[in-house]
Structure 1
Amino acid sequence: MLKRKYGDRSEWKRVLKRKYSQTYLEENDYKGYITLLQTIKVTEPLSVSYGEKNVRIVDNGYMWLQQFPLNEHHSVTTMFDANGEIVQWYIDICLCNGVENGIPWMEDLFLDVILLPSGEIIEKDADELENTLSKGIIDKSLYELAWSEMNKIKHLISTNNFNLIKMSNRHKKILFKILK
């Protein structure tokens, strides 16, 4: 069974006070939902370590923009600090993106690509994908789809052709105007 991750992150207990907005866009270069979560007050900051690097991804005033492009096998979360600076892009490899009860979601295929503003690319959770295949949670075709999508995303990033990351600030501005 694949995990669904919802754009509103309503189950997230770390966030005590929040603002949230979402919309559907149909533009020449993007079709799908976008969501924006602003963490007004959190129980405690959250940082992640990538080797020797420590990156704060949640704190008071941080924003998470999530893009759910239609007919794609990925979803992108852009994490902004309280000053509006991008701290990282987190690209989930997924089976599909959809909507339930008006809230966008993606079905996680375990592999992730993290892109830091420095241009560094980090692959994540290959062991989790291997484990789900060996346990029969996913079949060989989903396993191959996940790796194929991961390789496609990494190639697009390395050739400066992964356009969703270029849209992050524009999409944030659209949603920031309608935050509730």
Structure 2
Amino acid sequence: MLKRKYGKRPDWQRIITRKSASSFEETDTFRGDVTLLHAVKVTAPAFFTYGEQEVCIIDDGYTWLQQFPADANHSVTTMFDEDGNVVQWYIDICLTNGKDEHGPWMDDLFLDLILLPTGELIVKDAEELEEALAGNVIDQQLYDLAWKEAEKLKALIEKERFELIQLSYHHKKKLEKLM
């Protein structure tokens, strides 16, 4: 069974005080839901290490923007520090994006891409995708879909043509006005 992840992350206990906003956008460059989660106060910061680089992904004042494009097999979470600088773009490869009474969500297909502000692109959780296939959590068709989507996005990112990266700043500013 795939994990359903919600943009407002209601079960995330690390965030003590939060503000959030969401909207549906329909423009020439994007159609889908967008959520903004502002972590006013957290229990403790969280860090990830990529090679030699340690990255703080959440702390007091950090903001996470999540874009759920309609009819796409990915969703993008842009993590901003307390000064509004991008910490990373986290791209979840997913089966589908949707929305229900709890807000926008995506059904995670395990494989992820991480783009750092330096331009470094990291493929993450390939082993989880392999385990999901071996354990019959997903079938060969979903496995192939995940890799095809990841390769397509990698090519767009390398050519600087993945529009959600540029749109993250615009979407953040727009949703901040709704908080």
The TM-score by the shorter chain falls in which range?
A: over 0.9
Which AA in structure 2 matches 1:41? K
DSSP-derived class of the 2:12 partner? coil
Residues 36-86 of structure 1 show CA distances to partners (whole Å, capped at 9, x for unaligned) of 000000000001000110000000000000000000000000000000000
Mapped to 1, the partners of 2:43 and 2:18 lie a distance apart of 12
Mapped to 2, the partners of 1:35 and 1:110 lie a distance apart of 21
Partner of 1:22: 22
DSSP-derived class of the 1:172 partner? helix
| TM-score, normalised with respect to structure 2 | 0.99
Which AA in structure 2 matches 1:54? E
Which AA in structure 1 matches 2:152? K
Computed over aligned residues only, the root mean square deviation of the Cα atoms, in angstroms, reads: 0.5
Which AA in structure 2 matches 1:2? L
Partner of 2:49: 49
Is 2:63 the counterpart of 1:63? Answer: yes
DSSP-derived class of the 2:114 partner? strand
Which AA in structure 2 matches 1:121? L
DSSP-derived class of the 1:97 partner? strand
Mapped to 2, the partners of 1:102 and 1:77 lie a distance apart of 18
Partner of 1:99: 99
Residues 103-131 of structure 1 show CA distances to partners (whole Å, capped at 9, x for unaligned) of 00000000000000000000000000000
| TM-score, normalised with respect to structure 1 | 0.99
Which AA in structure 1 matches 2:118? S
DSSP-derived class of the 1:167 partner? helix
DSSP-derived class of the 2:154 partner? helix
Mapped to 1, the partners of 2:132 and 2:121 lie a distance apart of 24
Any unmatched runs of 5+ in structure 1? none
Is 2:147 the counterpart of 1:125? Answer: no
Tell me the CA shift for residue 100 of structure 1. 1.2
The within-5 A match list for 1:159-178 is 159-178=159-178
DSSP-derived class of the 2:66 partner? strand
DSSP-derived class of the 2:156 partner? helix
The within-5 A match list for 1:24-39 is 24-39=24-39
Give 4+ residue runs of structure 1 displaced > 3 Å after superposition.
none
Partner of 1:85: 85
Q: 1:46 to 1:4 in 2, by over 3 A?
A: same
Mapped to 2, the partners of 1:8 and 1:83 lie a distance apart of 21
Is 2:73 the counterpart of 1:73? Answer: yes
Mapped to 1, the partners of 2:150 and 2:41 lie a distance apart of 34
Mapped to 2, the partners of 1:92 and 1:158 lie a distance apart of 17
Residues 132-168 of structure 1 show CA distances to partners (whole Å, capped at 9, x for unaligned) of 0000000000000000000000000001110000101
Any unmatched runs of 5+ in structure 2? none
